[in-house]
Structure formats: structure tokens, C-alpha cells
Structure 1
């Protein structure tokens, strides 16, 4: 049987350089505010689980373990917590895997989730933060408008991003039980468009698409983006980041299972204390 070839959406060499630059930037200035928010949110989710994990791992571009641990009470802190800056570097078997905005540039996201699932012990928890499809909608629409005017059509500048329904399907496809997908919306007002770009560079999210336009941008392109961008009444550049949280458990016999169709022992009408009407 012929092996299915994974589409190369991202230029792996360009993405590796972008990642190294991002790590260098955050080594000087500290983690991105979005990465900090994701780490704190991950800690909040773990704190709500009545369990102390034995061995966990954090996947993130820079080490966010201290942020997570500092947000957890002693009884919820994993006894051991590793850190890797990429999925390829990860090695081991864990009962907790946390991915913080780290799967955004995977050419094979379904395959990446399957690999992570294989690193989970039975009844182990997987939780990951990814940017969802509603992220940076103003910027994306502005880029489309300006590119259409300058180049005669849209160019490859926007990363593909999954939505809520796609995320749930990916968890099931990876073989994770009790899947849950929810979202966190972060709204920011920027004084300068350059700051938006800087925040994306901090996360290694500059344009590394294989099909990207590689020629230098024409003179006046950035000014055209600034002029077309929808601004607030006080002249700021609004931006919204949608962070999707994907959560699932490695299968185990102790986990709840859905009832089989027809196995209910009481009619819904009886449970509600109402009379069933025939039509």
C-alpha cells in the first residue's frame, strides 16, 4: 500500500530559522504574553483535576514550567515535569502532556496528535493550546484587500487554522477519549501595527508558508496595510487571538463510557414528570 504523502504547507527550513529567532528574542525580553497566558490557563485546568500527575511534559518554544508550577497548589504539581521545545525532541512516556501554542506549524497535525497520544500512559491527560480560525481576522482581511489591490489577488500569508469542530474531530481521530474543546478569546489594542508583527515574531509565526511570496515587498506596502486596517475610535489597531484548548484522555477501562442506545431504564417523560403526547 502506497504511503500517503503529507502536504508541505510550511517550509521546514524557514520555520526552523523563525523558531530560533523567536527563542533568541524571548531569551532577551521574556516569554510572549500569549505564551504566559496559555501557561497560566493550562495550570488552571490541571488544578481543577483531582489528581497529582506522576510525570508530565511541557511542549513550548521556551521553558514555561516555572510559570505552570507557580500557579499550582502543592498537591496538584506534577511530581516530575519535563520540557521540550519541539515534538521531535520529546522522548518518554507520560501521564500528562501539555502543548502551549507548539503545534501551530505542523505539516501533519493529525499525525502529530497520534504521536503524542502514543507518548501517553493509559488514563493520561493531553491538553493543547492552538490558535483558532477566528484569530487576527482584521489583519487577515486587510492583507487580502491590499494584496488584491497590489498583486491582483490574495497571496499565501495566513496560516491555516482549525475551528472548534475540526479540533474535536482531530482528538477523536488521535484515539483520545472524553474529548473537550473550548476557547479563550484575547482582545488587544495596539498603538502601532509593527507591534502586532513583533508579537507574532516572538512566537515564531512569521510567514514560513511554502507557497509564500518570496520577493521583497513593494515600496509603500506597509503603509497601505496601515491605511486599510480597521482602527478603533482612538486610532489603535485592534486584534483578537482565539486560543482553542484541546483536551482528551488516553483510553483506560476506568473511564466513563456512553450508554448503548436503548439501554435507558426510564423514559425521559417520566424523569421530567410530564405526560408524553402522541402525534
Structure 2
């Protein structure tokens, strides 16, 4: 019997928020386009042609680009029916934690800015790997640790001052060092995790909160405080945010990109230990002394 994952997020609440945000997320279209472009640029790193793609959480910004690249079949999946239908093609409302696909259904799976809301991320990655055909490609972006960090810190400081304690008000995000390990744990071959940033600038602190609300990315942590926040909480927290010229507020979206392949016998393999037929010293043009030995020692 497998152990049930520890529940972190309120998934029904998240579904409702994503459903509502389908009508408001046009306000953050430039950010969604920038994140999708960085994700799909990874397809230029391979000469492999893909024919059956699943895109998860693309909000209508990913599937049209995949179709424009010549991929014949693209299914858009989202927790929210309205978000899934936003791409205008084959749409499916389903849960990332319970993928309804047979093994080997796709040769490409792309997940953009959605897996950070999954309770069991290792389990979700394992299901994605099973849905891929051998030598199929998986690419995903998630907000990484450091995203919204000034907001997290200012909310905690303001609440501690007003209430004498804090409750989680910004979701936890994964770290870069976790990325490749998660892919390996799910059985992906050639796992790669890397990090890049999208810098944003808001005219006012309130504009940042409004964009998070428009995107449906507000607090859905189960451990959130159910009480109504003190009226002074958000004004006090926003006043603590670092500001630039004329009161503008900088924000950084740190994108963790995960890339992995479904195992296949045709993929390159690491050489067996001891199978090398040349010495590193010869390749580097060093002398017979040990590579760690200082020059000039007798």
C-alpha cells in the first residue's frame, strides 16, 4: 500500500480560482507569454520531431505555439475547464495528480507554471513519465524559491507585529538543487534543471497583488489562517516592500525549468567505470606527476 501524500494545497479552491482567472489573466499576458517562450525555446535544442503532445496548465499560451511548430496532435489539460478550453483545440479538464492517460500516449509533455500547486510532485512526475512513449521529452517550468520573497518577508513581518505570530500567505516553491533529483526519482533519463529570471516592475505595491489575483495565484495553502486578516496587514506589508524610483516595486519571477527524457535503449549512456582508453593527464597535456601535486615539488 502506498502512503498518501501530505496535503499542502487546497486543490478545490485552486480549481475555482483558476476558473475565475480565465476572465482576468489577460492583464498578465506579457508575463505568461515570456514564460511560455522561455519554456518552448528548449525545443530548439533538439532535432527530434514530435507528433503527439500534451500541454498542462498553458492557459492558452502554449498549445497554439506547439501547433504552429507542426505538432499534429496537441491536447490542452488543466484543472479548470475554462483554462483547458482557452487554447481552442482539444481540451481536457483533469487533475495533474491523477493523469487519465494510457502509458506511451505522448512523445512530448509540456507543463507551464502549474506543477507548483501539486501536493505530490514526485508522483505527478512519475505519472507524466508513464504517459510518455520511449524517448519522449518532458519540459516544465515552475516558480522557484526566491520568487515573491520580498512579499513573503514583508507579510510575515507585518503579521508578527500585528498578531504576534505568522501564518503562511505565500506558497512554498522548490529549489534549483531539488530539480534534477525529482526527475531522477521519477525515472527520467538525462535530467536537467536550470534557473532563469524574469524581472518585473510595478508602479505600485498594490498592482503586484492585483496581478497575482488576476492570475489566480493567491494563497491556496491548506494551513492558511482562516480568520479575516487584520485591516492593517496588507497596507503595512506593502509599505515594507523594497521600492525603486517614484515608488515602483521590483519583482522577480525565478523560473525553474525541468527537462527529462523517457528512457529508451537508443539514448546515450554513461560509460562504465574503468572503461576509458585514454588518461586525463594525456588529454590535459600534464606530466607524470599527480594532477593535484603542485608544480616544482621534488
Q: Normalising by the residue count of structure 1, what TM-score does the alignment of the two structures yield?
A: 0.91
Q: Which residue of structure 2 lines up, in the alignment, with residue 273 of structure 1?
A: 285
Correspondence 1:151 to 2:163: yes
1:1-279 map, 5 Å: 2-26=1-25, 29=26, 32-60=29-57, 62-64=59-61, 65-70=63-68, 72=69, 77-86=70-79, 87=96, 88=98, 91=101, 93-278=105-290
Structure 2 residue matching 1:24: 3-state secondary structure? coil
CA offsets 1:50-107 (integer angstroms, 9 cap, x no match): 121011111115223124444x4xxxx3222221114246535100000011111111
CA distance, structure 2, for counterparts of residue 146 and residue 53 of structure 1: 50
- If asked which structure has higher relative contact order (CA below 8 Å, sep 6+), I would say 1
State the Cα distance separating 1:31 from its structure 2 match.
6.1
- Structure 2: give runs of 5+ residues left out of the alignment: 80-95, 294-298
Structure 1 CA distance for aligned equivalents of residues 50 and 17 of structure 2: 33
CA contact (8 A) 2:58 2:76 kept: no
Tell me the alpha carbon deviations over residues 173-199 of structure 1, each in whole angstroms, 9 at most, x when there is no partner. Answer: 010000111122011111122221222
Contact 2:147 2:253 in 1 (8 A): yes
What is the rounded CA distance, in whole Å, between the counterparts of 2:164 and 2:71 in structure 1? 54
3-state SS, counterpart of residue 234 of structure 1: helix
Greater shift in the superposed pair: 7-16 or 172-181: 7-16
1: distance between equivalents of 2:110 and 2:15? 21
Contact 2:200–2:250 (Cα < 8 Å) also in 1 = yes
- Cα distance per residue 1:204-229 (max 9 Å; x no partner): 21111111012112122221012111
Q: By how many angstroms is 1:24 displaced?
A: 2.8
Taking only aligned residues, the RMSD between alpha carbons, in angstroms, comes to 1.8
Alignment length (residue pairs)? 271
- How big is the shift at 1:43? 2.5
Distance in 1 (alpha carbons) for counterparts of 2:141 and 2:183 = 13
Kept in 2: contact 1:136–1:240 (CA 8 A): yes
CA contact (8 A) 2:155 2:237 kept: yes
Q: Which runs of 4+ in 1 moved over 6 A?
A: none
Secondary structure of 2:22 counterpart: helix
Verify the 8 A CA contact 2:66 2:74 in the aligned structure 1.
no
Give structure 1 stretches of 5+ with no counterpart: none
Tell me how far 1:161 sits from its aligned partner: 0.8
Question: Could you tell me whether the CA contact under 8 Å between 2:57 and 2:112 is conserved in 1?
Answer: yes
